[in-house]
Structures are given as C-alpha cells and as structure tokens.
C-alpha cells in the first residue's frame, strides 16, 4: 500500500511528465514546475513528495489537482499534518557558538568530502586531484569566479560559475544555490534586507537548466530541503556532534551536490557575514 509521508509547500496543480529517474527519486515536470517523488532516505523538501510502500523508480505518472495526488492512478490526499515547512525560523542563539560551529563545519568539508567536490576552494591541496587539461581549466574558472565573489563583483562571479561542471545538477549551480541560502540566512541574522541582492544573484545564477533553476529559486526564497535545513539548525543552536551527524547526511546528497552546496554556503557566509 502506498503511503504519502510528506509533501512540499511549493507543489502546483498539473499533469506532470517524467523528467528523469533514479533509484531513490523520480523527477517530474509540468511547464517550468518540478516535483520530485522520493523515498524516505531522501526526505522532505519544498518540491518533494515523500512516499513509502512503493519504489520511486516504479512511479511513471503524476497528476496533482485540488489538493489530491495521483501516483500511477493511485489517489492520495494532501493531509495538512503532512505538509513540510522548509523555512528556517531564527530564534535566540549564541553567536559565538554559531561561529564555532561554522568553523567546525568548514573543517569537516575539507576532510570528508569527495575529491571531486568544490572543497578545493577551502583546501588548495585538493586541486592536485584535478589533473587533466579540462579539469585544470575547470578549477581555474571556479577559482576566478569565487575570487570575484569574495573580493570583487559578486554578480560577475556568480555568472562565471553558473553551469560549470558535469551532471544533472552541475557543481557551479549547486555552489550558487548555497550562496543564495547564505544570503537568506544572513538577512535573518543581521536583520538586513537582502532581497535586492538575492534577486540580482538569482538573475545571474539561473540558466538554461530548468532542473537546477528549480533548486535555485527555492534557495533564493529560503526554502530548504530537510537535510540542509536540519544542518543549519544544528549550526545555529546545537553542538559539534550534532553538526557532524547532520553534515554527514547532507554529504550523501548526490556524488558532490551536497558538498558543493555547503561550500557555496560557507563562501557566502565569509563574503557577507564573517
């Protein structure tokens, strides 16, 4: 029996077409709107429908209408209690502990991420893992873009990084979504209006990849997928053990997607807050 575990708050009515399939997630699109049908190991998100009782790979059709979901013609109701809230709510927190946890997070990424991730932006020794002419040029372009973000024109840097790297979600786009998440959090922490900056960054970050554009839009609105939201909450309010556990969960996202998004988040924090 199929059970709806949770659903995101950015799902729109439509007759969706299959976009791509993976073991733990099946991606659907209608117009420019995406919905991701996932299992519990992936978890909730603003665009996610989490199910159990059936493998996502076996889902071939998706229709959403009038707060009702049809998966392979099986009808499931959107119960209010199963709605996932993707927002970070800023409560009172210890700023010194927050900075300590951020530094701990950075050290974790330096040590624990895939050799092909963007962690070389935090540890230059990792660049030796990129040895071919193509890889060296890729590293060079990423470096130039991040230098612009940190010390020059952030919009130019975002534009340079956009779309760089292979895969369904290129590393450059994952990185830019991390920047947008950082900007959203910084606005809350510093009680500053970051919306104009976020809007400009989003304009430069979006490209022809509709899939990554969906993630970038969510990030610009401060709408986080569960694993990333829980990590930020741990950095804000908890201790190093909790940060470690939550970081390990994020690093399981894609081959390097979770790591690349975290690197972007940390670079954004360095540029605008620290």
CB 120 within 8 A of CB 259: no
Kind of pairing between the strands at 68-71 and 74-77 = antiparallel
Give the list of residues 6+ apart from residue 23 with CB closer than 8 angstroms, or none.
Answer: 55, 56, 57
Per-residue pLDDT tens over the stretch 140-173: 999 999 999 999 999 999 999 999 998 889 999 9
Q: What is the pLDDT of residue 101?
A: 98
**What are the CA-CA distances from residue 60 to residues 15, 16, 44, 68, 140 (Å)?**
12, 10, 20, 17, 41
**Which whole number is the average pLDDT over 211-239?**
98
**Phi/psi at 246 (5° precision):** -70, -35
Q: What is the pLDDT of residue 166?
A: 82
Kind of pairing between the strands at 25-30 and 14-21 = antiparallel
Q: Please state the pTM of the whole predicted model.
A: 0.96
Which has more pLDDT, 246 or 1? 246
CA nearest neighbour of 172 among 216, 115, 108: 216
Q: What is the pLDDT of residue 112?
A: 84
b/e map of 80-117 (b: 16 or more CB within 10 Å)?
eebebebebeeeeeeeeeeeebbeebbebbbeebbebb
Q: Is residue 274 scored above 80 in pLDDT?
A: no
Quickly list DSSP for 41-88: TT---TTEEEEESS-GGG---EEEETTEEEETTEEEE--GGGB---PP
**Phi/psi at 3 (5° precision):** -125, 135
Per-residue pLDDT tens over the stretch 81-127: 999 999 999 999 999 999 999 999 999 999 888 999 999 999 999 99
Q: Is residue 269 scored above 90 in pLDDT?
A: yes
Residue with tokens 């946890």: 101
Alpha helical stretches, state H, the chain? 95-112, 133-151, 154-161, 171-189, 195-205, 210-220, 226-237, 240-250, 257-272
């Amino acid at each position: 029996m199929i059970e709806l575990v949770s659903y995101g708050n950015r799902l729109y009515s439509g007759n969706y077409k299959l976009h791509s399939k993976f073991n733990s997630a099946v991606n659907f699109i209608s117009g420019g709107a995406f919905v991701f049908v996932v299992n519990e190991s992936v978890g909730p998100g603003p665009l996610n429908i989490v199910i159990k009782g059936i493998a996502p790979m076996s889902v071939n059709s998706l229709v959403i209408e009038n707060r009702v979901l049809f998966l392979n013609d099986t009808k499931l109701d959107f119960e209010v209690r199963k709605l996932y809230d993707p927002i970070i709510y800023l409560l009172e927190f210890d700023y010194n502990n927050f900075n300590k946890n951020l530094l701990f997070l950075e050290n974790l990424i330096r040590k624990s991420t895939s050799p092909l991730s963007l962690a070389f932006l935090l540890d230059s020794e990792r660049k030796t893992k990129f040895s071919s002419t193509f890889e060296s040029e890729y590293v060079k372009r990423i470096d130039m873009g991040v230098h612009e973000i940190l010390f020059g024109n952030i919009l130019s840097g975002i534009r340079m990084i956009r779309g760089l790297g292979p895969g369904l979600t290129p590393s450059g786009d994952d990185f830019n979504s991390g920047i947008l998440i950082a900007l959203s959090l910084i606005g809350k922490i510093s009680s500053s209006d970051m919306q104009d900056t976020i809007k400009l960054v989003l304009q430069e970050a979006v490209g022809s990849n509709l899939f990554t554009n969906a993630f970038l839009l969510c990030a610009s609105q401060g709408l986080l997928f569960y694993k990333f939201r829980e990590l930020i909450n741990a950095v804000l309010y908890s201790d190093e053990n909790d940060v470690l556990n939550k970081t390990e969960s994020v690093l399981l996202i894609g081959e390097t997607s979770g790591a690349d998004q975290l690197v972007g988040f940390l670079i954004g924090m360095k540029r605008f807050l620290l």
